[in-house]
Amino acid sequence: MFDVVISGAGPAGCRCAQVLAEKGFEVALIERDTNWRKPCGGAVSSRIFKYYPQLRKLNYAPITGITMYSGDYHELSYSWKNIRDYSINVDRLEFDNFIRAIAVDAGAHLFDKNLSVDFITKNNRRIGIKTKIPSGTKEYSGKILIVADGMSSKLAPKSGLKGKWKIDEIGLCKCAIMVGENSLDKHSISLFFRAYKGYGWIFPLDENRFNIGCGTWLDENLTTNLNQAFDEFLNDSHIKKFFPISQYKEIWKGAYPIPALGVKEKCLYGETIMIIGDAAGFVSPISGEGIHPCVVSGQTAAEVAINALETEDISTQSLKKYKQHPNIKKMIRNFKMKVSMVEFLFENKGQNLSKMFELAGTDDKIREEVINMFLFSIPPSKELLLKIQT
């Protein structure tokens, strides 16, 4: 019997497992495939270093700038060099295995090639997780069960806490890692908001590798074909200018859904269960940044589990502290603000966003406000919103 069984060794599950194992608890970390590269842009803000200071030693190129484009290519650039700590762009296969190794070093037991398929139930109480392995099935019993297996989770809908994702509450994204000569600034990322509800990105990885992708959001998923949008994005003349030599090679590509409406508040905890990471919607609605929020959810769930185990109170009431934690409440509030901005920004084929960037180009005060909104989650003033609409 484990103290905690965690399904999914992505950023949320790994952080959760590490924190619990460091406190001496017995943790099973179940993963379906450690060779799978999660489709992801891999842009990670500097806030990650608080949780993984080890990343600083990996010599990532420091990312200190961003250029954002509206659907009709109004441009807004910002550099935080010498103002704030740098961000990094990671290859998710390398990153995930790096943080898995940290969890294992802390004492977590990683079980690879295990596909979680259901809960084990006894006397109407969930007491473990059942998995499929290449040679049959396995069972892992635990006092607390944590669902961290992302958007494809089989356990989350079976938990009774949440239903399956609906097509108009998620984003659909496709991306590729390419290698070849390019004229990208290696210290800056680029975001391309589209005239439809969606955006594309180019994130340099190292000297010649870069991650490129795009996604559609919410009701746009019903009308825009993702494969077509991806091809159009790659062939857009504004994008192609970064790749003057057309001899770049695609070395990997993938597509995956992403939560788009913020945290699913009602599904976060239940009897013996907590849901963390993407499976519970911990992704920032406008930017699609999920790695850091998912790590925070994993950290918080671990702290709540530690308290429950130490006080021998594994009641639903005790696990409720996860949802009530100030860090979780802050994210819920912040994501709600961003959800409310999405419709506004993409209104009239992205014209509000376009006007916002245009105004920011001529007025320093507005520029600061827009940057604060996108980068530091500070809501825009009513005056700015009115100005955009007139």
Residues that bind ligand FAD (CB under 6 A): 7-13, 30-33, 36, 38-44, 114-116, 148-150, 152-154, 173, 175, 213, 256, 258, 277-278, 283, 288-292, 294
- Judged on CB neighbours under 10 Å (0-12, 13-18, 19+), 387 is middle
The two beta strands, 65-69 and 188-193, are: parallel
> What is the nearest approach in angstroms of ligand FAD to the Cβ of residue 131?
7
Distance of alpha carbon 196 from alpha carbon 206, whole angstroms: 30
Identity of the residue, 178 or 359, whose beta carbon is nearer to ligand FAD in the bound complex:
178
Identity of the residue, 28 or 384, whose beta carbon is nearer to ligand FAD in the bound complex:
28
> What is the nearest approach in angstroms of ligand FAD to the Cβ of residue 358?
26
Helix 382-389 × helix 326-362 angle, to 10°: 40
- Judged on CB neighbours under 10 Å (0-12, 13-18, 19+), 197 is buried
Identity of the residue, 8 or 380, whose beta carbon is nearer to ligand FAD in the bound complex:
8
Residues 92/42, Cβ–Cβ less than 8 Å: yes
Identity of the residue, 44 or 359, whose beta carbon is nearer to ligand FAD in the bound complex:
44
- To 5 degrees, how large is the angle CA 372–CA 375–CA 379? 45
Identity of the residue, 9 or 306, whose beta carbon is nearer to ligand FAD in the bound complex:
9
> What is the nearest approach in angstroms of ligand FAD to the Cβ of residue 79?
19
Find where tokens 């295995």 sit: 97
Residues 173/219, Cβ–Cβ less than 8 Å: no
> What is the nearest approach in angstroms of ligand FAD to the Cβ of residue 154?
5
Residues 284/337, Cβ–Cβ less than 8 Å: no
Identity of the residue, 16 or 366, whose beta carbon is nearer to ligand FAD in the bound complex:
16
> What is the nearest approach in angstroms of ligand FAD to the Cβ of residue 267?
14
Distance of alpha carbon 330 from alpha carbon 336, whole angstroms: 10
HSE of 112 in the Cβ direction (CA atoms, 13 Å)? 9
Distance of alpha carbon 93 from alpha carbon 99, whole angstroms: 10
Map residue 14 onto helix, strand or coil. helix
What DSSP state is assigned to residue 334?
Answer: H
> What is the nearest approach in angstroms of ligand FAD to the Cβ of residue 50?
15
Identity of the residue, 33 or 181, whose beta carbon is nearer to ligand FAD in the bound complex:
33
> What is the nearest approach in angstroms of ligand FAD to the Cβ of residue 283?
5
Distance of alpha carbon 293 from alpha carbon 243, whole angstroms: 32
Identity of the residue, 90 or 384, whose beta carbon is nearer to ligand FAD in the bound complex:
90
**Residue 87, token pair as written in the block:** 């961000």
> What is the nearest approach in angstroms of ligand FAD to the Cβ of residue 91?
11
